[in-house]
A and B are shown apart, each in its own frame.
Chain A
């Protein structure tokens, strides 16, 4: 405790920062944990249009797991999430490297790649819907050029539609990962480059063996960011495919929203939302665990 001569009303050391954090903690607690708790509680009830408190145990989860559509949505999340996160990181990193190599008019390129980011998912979805529509977009344009047999109808094919969502998603978010990687690359000590040049190591090996491992933290941040974007993806699917054809490009977030808002299945939707949380937790936990352990060892 404090100095013996200090006035008695002084706050104990460390209390001031704690006190300053109280509002933020309270908001976090109410807005996140309380609502998570409420959602979980609702998912144990038979609520339909309005919340009601007749507890039915895990009945809503049974109904959820019995639904083909839910499993299609989960599968799609794996496909879409994998392609989206992987694609954004790969492309974003490549673009960042190319820009970092000192292209002329760097500002122009940065703007070009960042521009899609400024658009909402809804706008992106509608633009891509036009481009991919077999009667209006790319397919029609190429056919107009003379290739009559050209086919690019993924949007209307149940076995391909989820890939169109991934393409549009990558197109929009690649700028974000590029910016993050560019910042990471710019933070690397120029002396490392000088040293490798002295040693005569080829550029690609420098990136592969030295730079990339150094950017581990950036990769981690980008992955988590993109992954959470992928899990809560909702508006892009709505605007691009409406979850269709059928429910072939549905994602869990859309499933939940639809069941809560238009199908009067509040309890079922809550169960779905809670399962989404579990999915994120399951995917992020090992990562987080590794990161924390490494942080301690360092």
Chain B
């Protein structure tokens, strides 16, 4: 059971399916379009007494609660080597009570900045490395009649942009203090105000059609050269490749402007249900083996645009953006995770999206008010 239904996604899944059936596994496909719909469907089937043997899920508090209610089983088979193969922050998020309850499939990065190289060249701007540089570049681009930022106007997309600024200005520790510890002091700090000021300035560099736009529409604005930058996860590379561009060439990729290198990870993972049927049991064991196989991991992630969860896979054959990411995450200090992965309750990570999106869209709000709104909205649910 999974939600991998788009072109690049199903090509990636095919790798797992082929390897699984080649080793004698019995694969019954149950795709559900849309991540949250698929997750609800999986939960409904578990509660309804017809659990899928294996299903795709996202790491985070929802999975944790399922594990707490013993509705998902610990990962079957030998997982001893995972300790060394997985990035520690992800190994931690995949465990419940010390045991692995999910097999991470891939790592997506959230803090990417894609840009149209030709547009930047014509405007004579360099790829910005800090947010003040970015704002200066945006002014120039705007004067030339280009839209500086192609933004899809959905709360999670606005969060990605906001978090890029948060990380860029606050740095890694600050990011962890805000989302990992919900630190009230940090939320009230001068740094946070500076972040809100910068975000408020970015509002002027987005076109009016943004609210409600989907991320792939924003990506195609970038490819058509209407817009210069997009802040988006690396799943955008799938669309860029599909449109005949080479990621890293015409459409360049760089990390969002920041002083400290960091990689904000989003992780999809396979989860397993309890079963009394030995055939299902054997299938699950085989599935884990296949999903964690080095070759499967490499090929799957090449197709999906993400990077492997195992650190011991060579970078050859990946596109320049992924290669860069794989180099960067050699250093564990760069590992950060997306808001949901800190184990925050769903209400809290939802409230984070709410607060950011509200501040972004309500131009009457000053940075000071935005900062206060963030603190009160997020901490209300804690």
Please tell me if the beta carbons of A159 and B362 are within 8 angstroms of each other in the complex. Answer: yes
- Complex partner residue of A63 from B62, B210, B381, CB under 8 angstroms: B381
What residues on A are CB-neighbors of B40 within 8 Å? 261-262
Please tell me if the beta carbons of A67 and B36 are within 8 angstroms of each other in the complex. Answer: no
Whether B361 is near chain A, meaning CB under 8 Å from some CB there, is: yes
Please tell me if the beta carbons of A66 and B380 are within 8 angstroms of each other in the complex. Answer: yes
What residues on B are CB-neighbors of A50 within 8 Å? 47, 65, 69
Q: With A and B bound together, what is the CA distance between A241 and B155 in angstroms?
A: 12
Please tell me if the beta carbons of B362 and A248 are within 8 angstroms of each other in the complex. Answer: yes
Whether B110 is near chain A, meaning CB under 8 Å from some CB there, is: no
Whether B211 is near chain A, meaning CB under 8 Å from some CB there, is: yes
What residues on B are CB-neighbors of A63 within 8 Å? 347, 380-381
Whether A87 is near chain B, meaning CB under 8 Å from some CB there, is: no
Whether B345 is near chain A, meaning CB under 8 Å from some CB there, is: yes
Q: With A and B bound together, what is the CA distance between A294 and B327 in angstroms?
A: 80
Q: With A and B bound together, what is the CA distance between A153 and B208 in angstroms?
A: 9
What residues on A are CB-neighbors of B208 within 8 Å? 134-135, 153, 156
Q: In the complex, how many angstroms separate the beta carbon of A51 from the nearest chain B beta carbon?
A: 10
Please tell me if the beta carbons of A69 and B345 are within 8 angstroms of each other in the complex. Answer: no
Q: In the complex, how many angstroms separate the beta carbon of A163 from the nearest chain B beta carbon?
A: 15
Please tell me if the beta carbons of B211 and A245 are within 8 angstroms of each other in the complex. Answer: yes
Whether A278 is near chain B, meaning CB under 8 Å from some CB there, is: no
Whether A158 is near chain B, meaning CB under 8 Å from some CB there, is: yes
Please tell me if the beta carbons of A264 and B377 are within 8 angstroms of each other in the complex. Answer: no
Please tell me if the beta carbons of A49 and B211 are within 8 angstroms of each other in the complex. Answer: no
What residues on A are CB-neighbors of B376 within 8 Å? 66, 68
Q: Which residues, 337 to 382 on B, are CB-close (under 8 Å) to A? A: 345-347, 349-351, 354-355, 357-364, 373, 376-377, 379-381
Please tell me if the beta carbons of A265 and B211 are within 8 angstroms of each other in the complex. Answer: no
Please tell me if the beta carbons of A246 and B359 are within 8 angstroms of each other in the complex. Answer: yes
Q: With A and B bound together, what is the CA distance between A248 and B359 in angstroms?
A: 10
Interface string of B296-337 (1 = CB under 8 A from A): 000000000000000000000000000000000000000000
Nearest residue, chain A, Cβ from B71: A50
Please tell me if the beta carbons of A158 and B380 are within 8 angstroms of each other in the complex. Answer: no
Q: With A and B bound together, what is the CA distance between A244 and B158 in angstroms?
A: 12
Please tell me if the beta carbons of A67 and B66 are within 8 angstroms of each other in the complex. Answer: no
- Indicate whether A264 sits within 8 Å of B61 (C-beta atoms), given known contacts A245-B357, A246-B362: yes
- Indicate whether A263 sits within 8 Å of B347 (C-beta atoms), given known contacts A69-B354, A245-B153: yes
What residues on B are CB-neighbors of A106 within 8 Å? none
Q: With A and B bound together, what is the CA distance between A48 and B63 in angstroms?
A: 12
- Complex partner residue of B153 from A67, A69, A244, CB under 8 angstroms: A244
Whether A129 is near chain B, meaning CB under 8 Å from some CB there, is: yes
Whether B48 is near chain A, meaning CB under 8 Å from some CB there, is: no
Q: With A and B bound together, what is the CA distance between A158 and B61 in angstroms?
A: 31
Interface string of B190-213 (1 = CB under 8 A from A): 000000000000000000111110
- Complex partner residue of A129 from B36, B212, B363, B364, CB under 8 angstroms: B212
Please give the residue numbers on chain B whose beta carbons come within 8 Å of chain A beta carbons, in ascending order: 36, 40, 43, 47, 61-62, 65-66, 69, 153-155, 208-212, 345-347, 349-351, 354-355, 357-364, 373, 376-377, 379-381
Q: 23 A–B contact pairs at CB < 8 A? A: A48-B347, A49-B66, A68-B373, A69-B351, A134-B208, A135-B208, A158-B364, A241-B212, A244-B361, A245-B357, A245-B358, A245-B362, A246-B155, A246-B357, A246-B360, A247-B354, A247-B358, A248-B361, A248-B362, A259-B350, A263-B347, A265-B346, A268-B347
